[in-house]
Chain A
Amino acid sequence: MEEKLLKKWLQDDLSPEELLEFQALDGYKSLMKLNEGLKKFKAPEFDEPIVFEEISKTISDKAQVNKKINWLKPVLRTAALLAISFSVYYFTTNSDTHISTLSAEKTTIELPDHSVVSLNALTEISYNKRSWNKNRSLTLDGEAYFKVEKGSKFKVETPTGTITVLGTQFLVKNRNDIFEVVCYEGSVKVETDISTEILKPKERFLILGNKFVITKKEDAKEPAWIHNQSQFYSLPYKYVLEELERQYQVSIDTKNIDTTVLFTGHFVHNNLDLALKAITLPLNLDYSKEDSLIVLYAK
C-alpha cells in the first residue's frame, strides 16, 4: 500500500483522496524533509546562451584554421604529383638504356628502328631511346653482331674505335686488346687511332695489341657464335682461352704453355668437354678439370 502511494507520489500522480492517505503515512514528515533537502542538490544553472556562444566561437575559429589549410593541401598534393611524374618521365625518356649479358649468356635485342643486335657473353651496350631516331649511336663494350636497318648514319662507339655504317650486317668485337670488326654485307667504316678503313663484305679488320691486320678470310654469313660456336683464324692462343672462359664461366690455368702460338679452329658453346678437346688436341695439350677451374698442361 505504502509502496504504491510512494510510487504515485514520485510520478506526481496522486488523486486528492490518495494525497490525504499519503499525508497520513508514518514517514510523511521525514519524507518531506528529505524532499526539501534534495532540492538543494540542484545542478548549477546551465547558462545556455553563454555556452552556445562559446561553441559557435570555437567552431568558427576551427573553420578558419581549416580554410587556411584547405587550399595548401591540394596545392602540395598537386606539386608532389607533378614532381613525381616529371622525374618518372625524365628518367624513362632521357636516361640511357643499358643492356648487358653475363658470362655464358647471349641475347638478341631490337633497337627502336628495328635494327637487331646480338650480344655475345659479357657484353654491354647502351643507347638513348628518345633521341634514337635522330641520332643512331650506341656504345659497345664486348662483342656484338649488328643487322642494321637502312636509314641514317648508324654509329657504334667503342673504347678503341668508332664504326659507322649506313645499313648492313657487321660484327664488332672489342675485348681487352682485341678489336675486331667483320663486315658481312654492305660497307663499314672503321675509325681507330691506328687506322681508318672502309670494309667491303667478308673483310675483317683486326687490331691485336697494337698490330693492325686486315684479312679477307671471313666466308661465313654470320658470326659463328650466333650458332653457339666460336671460330678463330690464326689468333694467339690466349684470346681463344679468354673466349672459352667467357662462354663457360670457368677460369683456365695455363701452366708453362706458350699462349702466343697462333690457333685456327673453333669450339662449341654447349659442351665443355668437347670444347676443351677441340682447343687442346691440335696443340697436343691435355687438361684436367675441377669445378670451374681448368688446368692445361703439355702432354
Chain B
Amino acid sequence: MSKDLNDHICNEKLFEKLFKTHGKNLHDFLYYKFGSHLNPQDKVQEAFIKLWENCKKVTPSKAKSFLFTVANNLMLNEVAHQKVVLKHQEIKPKHATNETPQFILEENEYMEKLQKAISNLTEAQRIAFLLNRVEGKKHKEIAELLDISTKAVEKRIYGALKQLRKEIDGI
C-alpha cells in the first residue's frame, strides 16, 4: 500500500475540495440512515472539524472513510435505536384546486403508508434505495459511497422496492 506521507489535508484548498466532494453525500447518507430528528447537518459539520483537527494523521485517500466513520459514530452516540422517521414534504393545497377533498385525503393516507413502509426497511436497504430513487444516484456511485459492490447495491435497492410494493400495493 502506498503511503502519501507528504500529502496531508492540512492544506485549506484541499480541505475545501474534500468538503465539496463528500459534504452533501455524507449529509444525505446520514439523513437516510438516521432520519431528520438528529440533525445530520450538525454531524457533517462536526465530522469535518474533527477531520481538520486530525489533518496530519489522515491521508486524503482515508478522508472519506474517516468522515463517514466519525459522523456515523456521532449519530450512534445520540440515537438510542429510535425508529427512523423520514419527513415527507407537506402536500400544499393548491388555491384553485379541482381535486376533491376525497382525493387529498387519499393522497395523505398514501403518504403515511409510504412513510411507515420506508421506516420498516432495513437500514442498508433504505440508504441505498433512497440514494438511488430520491437523489438519483447511479448504482456505481452508491457502491463507492458505501464501500460495497455494485451487485450488493442492486440487491439492496431491488429488495427495498420489492418490500415497499408488497407493503403498499400487496404485489
Interface residues, chain A, with chain B CB atoms under 8 Å away:
3, 6-7, 10-12, 26-27, 30-31, 33-35, 37-44, 46-48, 51-52, 54-55, 58-59, 62
CB pair A51 B23 closer than 8 Å: yes
Contact B110 A55 (CB under 8 A): no
Distance between B75 CB and nearest chain A CB, rounded to angstroms: 14
Report chain B residues within 8 Å CB of A26: 171
**Could you list some 21 contacts between A and B, CB below 8 A?**
A6-B158, A7-B154, A7-B158, A11-B138, A11-B154, A34-B164, A34-B165, A39-B134, A42-B89, A43-B32, A44-B36, A46-B27, A46-B28, A46-B41, A48-B24, A51-B23, A51-B41, A52-B19, A52-B23, A55-B48, A55-B49
Q: Give the residues from 120 to 171 in chain B that come closer than 8 angstroms, CB to CB, to chain A.
A: 130, 132-135, 138-139, 154, 157-158, 161, 164-165, 168-169, 171
Which partner residue on chain A sits nearest B157 by CB separation? A10
- Bound-state CA distance A33–B110 (Å) is 10
Q: Does any Cβ of A come within 8 Å of B44's Cβ? A: yes
Does any Cβ of A come within 8 Å of B16's Cβ? yes
- Asked if B20 lies at the interface with its beta carbon under 8 angstroms from chain A, I say yes
| B114: Cβ under 8 A from any A Cβ | yes
B110 to nearest A CB, angstroms? Answer: 6
Chain A residues within 8 Å of B154, by CB: 7, 10-11
Which B residues touch A34, using CB under 8 A? 114, 164-165, 168-169
* Docked complex Cα distance between A245 and B61 (Å): 82
Taking the complex as formed, is B66 at the interface, i.e. its CB lies under 8 A from any CB of chain A? no
Contact partners of B133 in chain A: CB under 8 A: 35, 38-39
Q: Complex formed: what's the CA distance from A42 to B48 in Å?
A: 23
Count, A-B residue pairs, CB within 8 A: 95
Q: Which chain B residues have a beta carbon within 8 Å of chain A's beta carbons? A: 16, 19-20, 23-24, 27-28, 31-32, 36, 40-41, 44-45, 48-49, 52-53, 86-89, 91, 110-111, 114-115, 118, 130, 132-135, 138-139, 154, 157-158, 161, 164-165, 168-169, 171
Q: Give A11 to B88 CA distance when docked, in angstroms.
A: 24
Q: Which residue of A lies closest to B155 (CB)?
A: A7
The answer on a CB contact under 8 Å between A38 and B114 is: yes
For A41, what are the chain B residues with a Cβ–Cβ distance below 8 Å? 86-88, 114-115, 118, 130, 134
User: Which residues from chain A contact B118 at a C-beta distance below 8 Å?
Assistant: 41
Please give the distance in Å from B86's CB to the nearest CB on chain A. Answer: 5
Contact across chains for B168 and A42 when beta carbons are under 8 A apart: no
Quick check: A48 and B20 within 8 Å, CB to CB? Answer: yes
Minimum Cβ distance to chain B for residue A118 (Å): 64
- The answer for the CA separation of A124 and B53 in the assembled complex, in Å, is 61
State in angstroms the CA–CA spacing of A42 and B88 once bound together. Answer: 7
* A43 near B28: Cβ-Cβ < 8 Å: yes
Q: In chain B, what residue has the closest Cβ to A48?
A: B23
B31 touches A44 (CB 8 A): yes
A203 to B138, CA, bound (A): 113
CA distance A48 to B41 in the complex (A): 10
**For residue A27, which residue of chain B has the nearest CB?**
B171
Please report the C-alpha to C-alpha distance between residue A52 and residue B23 in the assembled complex, in whole angstroms: 9
A10 to B125, CA, bound (A): 14
By the criterion CB–CB under 8 Å, are A38 and B134 in contact? yes
